[in-house]
Structure 1
Amino acid sequence: MTAQKGKDLLLKVDTDGAGDFTTVAGLRARSLAFNAATVDVTDQESAAQWRELLDGAGIKTARITGSGIFKDAESDETLRGYFFAGTIRDWQVIVPDFGTVEGAFQITSLEYGGRHDGEVNFELGLDSAGALSFAADA
C-alpha cells in the first residue's frame, strides 16, 4: 500500500439497520486497531521453559477511534443517541487502496471539548461487538 491521504479513510455507520451506510460527518482524525489476546499453555515440559501459545485461541477485538467536529445536528444526535442507548450497529471503515472492514461496534466513549476561541469538538471510541469481515479493494 502506498501513501494515502488521511482524509480518505472513512468511517460509516448503518443508521437505519438496513445496510445503508452514512459517513460520520466532520471527522478530522480516525484510526482502526486490531488486537488478539493469547492463551498461554506453557507447562513444566515446555522446551527450555519457553512460553507456548495455543494456536487459534484467544479473543480478537477491534477498536475504532475518531475525533472531529459535528457538521450537522443529525450526526450529533445519531452518535449521542447510540451512546446513551448502548446501541450496537454495523459500521464500516474504508481504507483507500486496501479494503473495507465491516461489523458490529458499540460506542464506548464519547467526549466533547472546546476552547473559548474555537469550535466544539468530539472524540469517540467504538469497540467491536461481533465478528468482522474484510473485503479487499479490487
Structure 2
Amino acid sequence: MVAQKGKDLLLKVLDGSTYITVAGLRSKRLAFNAETVDVTDGESAGRWRELLAGAGVQRASLSGAGLFKDQASDARVRTAFFAGEILSWQVVIPDFGTVTGLFQITALEYAGAHDGEVTFELALESAGQLSFGAL
C-alpha cells in the first residue's frame, strides 16, 4: 500500500439522512483506547501483572482543526454542541475503511488573529459501539 494523502481522511456528521463532510478541516485524528482490568493476585506467576481479557471499557476520540467556513456543516456542529446532542459521525480512512458511530462534541473552540483567518477546533468522544466498514 502506498502512502495516503492526509486531506483524504474525512470527518463526516449525519445531517438528516446524509453524512456531510465537516468543512474546512486541515487536520483530523481518530484514537482508540481501552481500559484494562487488573486481576493480579498473590499467586500470579513471578508477581507479573495479569489482565482480564475483554473486560475493560473501550472508547474512541475524534478531533479536528481547521478554517471556519460558515457552511452547513459548521451550523450542524455548532447546533449539536450547544444542544448537547449525540450524533452519528463517520471517519473515512482512505484505502482502509470507515468508522461509524455515535459521538458527542466535548469541545468546540474558535480563534482568530488580527492578521489571519478564523479557525476552529473540535473534540468528540464516543457514546456507544462503533462499526467498521472496509472500503
Q: TM-score range by the shorter chain?
A: over 0.9
Identical aligned residues as a percent: 65
C-alpha separation in 1, matches of 2:22 and 2:76: 10
- SS of the residue 1:131 aligns to: coil
- Residue identity matched to 2:127: A
Offset, 1:3: 0.8
2:70 alignment partner in structure 1: 72
Q: Could you report, residue by residue, the CA deviation over 1:33-92 in whole angstroms, capped at 9, with x for unpaired residues?
A: 000000000001100110000011100000000001122243322111111111001100
1:117 alignment partner in structure 2: 115
C-alpha separation in 1, matches of 2:33 and 2:15: 26
Instruction: Give the one of 3, 6, 27 matched to 2:25.
Output: 27
Map 1:77-96 onto structure 2 (within 5 A).
Answer: 77-96=75-94
- SS of the residue 1:130 aligns to: coil
C-alpha separation in 1, matches of 2:58 and 2:2: 27
1:15 alignment partner in structure 2: 15
- Residue identity matched to 1:9: L
C-alpha RMSD of matched pairs (Å): 1.0
Instruction: Give the one of 42, 45, 51 matched to 1:44.
Output: 42
C-alpha separation in 2, matches of 1:76 and 1:91: 14
Length-normalised TM-score, structure 2:
0.96
2:21–2:73 Cα contact (<8 Å) kept = no
C-alpha separation in 1, matches of 2:129 and 2:71: 31
2:103 alignment partner in structure 1: 105
Structure 2: segments with no counterpart, 5+ residues: none
2:26–2:64 Cα contact (<8 Å) kept = yes
- SS of the residue 1:41 aligns to: coil
- Residue identity matched to 2:58: K
Which runs of at least 4 in structure 1 moved beyond 4 Å after TM superposition? none
Length-normalised TM-score, structure 1:
0.94
